[in-house]
């Protein structure tokens, strides 16, 4: 069915079908055990196992909105082909459910996304991470119906990066250069001629940039280390004079703030406070949901815990950040779903904290005797998967939660 010539083809506020899809969303993602934990001061004791749940966890508003809009799109266009530009969020269960609904997830290749199979009468969903300017322009050229679920917190960062490019500042982005959100954010500099960016993964990489500003690191070192993480034609001599700091919203907030402070302090040391005031800008765009979940797990870690379980996709940046916080204080297991815990074998399959893309299996991961287990979950983890994890932890000790 072709779209009438005068019909809208871009939707950012859903289709007014919130009520119609609520039952499906509740069936697919709500969790009875999580409801019980909330009602009981986020604690459950069964047998010799005590479960402590962080007070902020799981689906954030931006994720809920993105998933809901995908369900609305399927309800609005039951007979049309629907594509999703990459995963809508980084959660295997949610993305598998969308595939079951007949939504085809396009995954990027070496040259990015291939939209050659998309037709004007198709529906294309843009994920919570957003898409690059180039991908957006390509889809608009096709003329297909676009459902934009980009998170509002991400849009705030885009506005900041766009303002940097407009005013002649290079955007220094704390993030992972290969992450969908960071690629989309970095692309915002294209809105202005000469816009530039550099992406730093952590404080160590930020200090390399600071070293260049101080004259202790060469331009060749910068270009080699960041060859995949800078804008085309990046010239350190020219493009590290005026810097504006931004971030991928799901990074560790404290590190983003520290990187901003380090870069600003370096400019002040080398060129004076006046240069810092004129040639440096920082940001106030840390995602509130990311901050709340990090604050809540920090608070939970003040309690005596024997082990932490962090639930979320292995490619979920905000989940990785939560696991990193937990791993500083207590043995921590980052699992991508409840099935990572095998009660019969008493094993756990997990992503190693702080080790890129390395997974492992461990037997006897729950200590003997009375045990206190802390739990949190990334912003893309639905409540039912959190509840299933609780049940599997208890079952590992032969306990059934009668709630």
Both structure tokens of 394: 């208890």
CA distances from 359 to 87, 119, 314, 333, 350 (A): 21, 39, 9, 10, 6
Gap between the Cα atoms of 78 and 113, Å rounded? 25
Q: Parallel, antiparallel, or unpaired for β 341-342 and 347-351? A: antiparallel
Residue 321's closest CA among 338, 340, 296, 343? Answer: 296
Q: What is the set of active-site residues?
A: 181
| Residue 200 near residue 211, CB atoms below 8 Å | no
Gap between the Cα atoms of 311 and 195, Å rounded? 38
Residue 17's closest CA among 171, 107, 147, 109? Answer: 147
Q: What percent of the residues of the chain are helix, what percent strand, and what percent coil, each to the nearest 5?
A: 45, 20, 40
Concatenating the DSSP letter of every residue in 326-394 gives HHTTS-EEEESSGGGEETTTTEEEEEPTTSTT-EEEEES-SPSSSEEEEEEE-TT--HHHHHHHHHHHH
Cα-trace Rg, the chain? 23
Q: Parallel, antiparallel, or unpaired for β 347-351 and 359-363? A: antiparallel
């Amino acid at each position: 069915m072709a779209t009438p010539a005068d019909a809208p083809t871009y939707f950012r506020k859903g289709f007014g079908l919130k009520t119609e899809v609520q039952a499906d969303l509740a069936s697919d993602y709500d969790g009875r055990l999580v409801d019980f934990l909330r009602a009981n001061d986020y604690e459950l004791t069964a047998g010799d196992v005590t479960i402590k749940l962080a007070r902020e966890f799981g689906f954030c508003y931006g994720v809920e909105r993105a998933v809901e809009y995908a369900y609305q799109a399927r309800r609005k266009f039951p007979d049309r082909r629907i594509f999703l530009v990459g995963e809508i969020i980084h959660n295997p269960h949610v993305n598998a459910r969308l595939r079951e609904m007949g939504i085809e997830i396009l995954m990027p290749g070496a040259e990015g996304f291939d939209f050659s199979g998309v037709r004007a009468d198709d529906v294309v969903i843009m994920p919570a991470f957003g898409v690059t300017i180039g991908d957006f322009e390509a889809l608009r050229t096709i003329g297909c119906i676009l459902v934009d679920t980009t998170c509002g917190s991400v849009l705030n960062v885009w506005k900041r990066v766009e303002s940097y490019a407009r005013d002649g500042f290079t955007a220094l982005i704390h993030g992972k250069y290969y992450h969908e959100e960071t690629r989309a954010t970095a692309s915002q500099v294209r809105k202005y001629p000469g816009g530039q960016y550099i992406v730093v993964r952590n404080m160590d990489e930020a200090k390399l940039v600071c070293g260049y500003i101080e004259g202790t690191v060469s331009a060749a070192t910068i270009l080699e280390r960041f060859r995949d993480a800078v804008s085309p034609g990046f010239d350190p001599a020219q493009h590290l004079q005026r810097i504006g700091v931004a971030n991928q919203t799901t990074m560790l907030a404290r590190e983003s703030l520290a990187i901003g402070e380090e870069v600003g302090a370096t400019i002040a040391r080398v060129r004076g406070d006046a240069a810092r005031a004129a040639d440096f800008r920082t940001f106030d765009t840390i995602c509130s949901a990311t901050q709340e979940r990090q604050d809540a797990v920090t608070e939970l870690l003040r309690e005596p815990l024997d082990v932490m379980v962090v639930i979320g996709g292995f490619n979920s940046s905000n989940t990785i950040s939560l696991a990193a916080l937990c791993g500083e204080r207590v043995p921590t297991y980052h699992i991508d779903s409840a099935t990572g815990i095998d009660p019969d074998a008493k094993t756990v399959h997990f992503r190693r904290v702080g080790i890129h893309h390395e997974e492992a299996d461990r037997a006897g991961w729950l200590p003997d005797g009375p045990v206190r287990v802390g739990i949190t979950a990334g912003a893309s983890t639905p409540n039912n998967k959190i509840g299933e994890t609780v049940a599997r932890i208890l079952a590992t000790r032969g306990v059934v939660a009668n709630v």
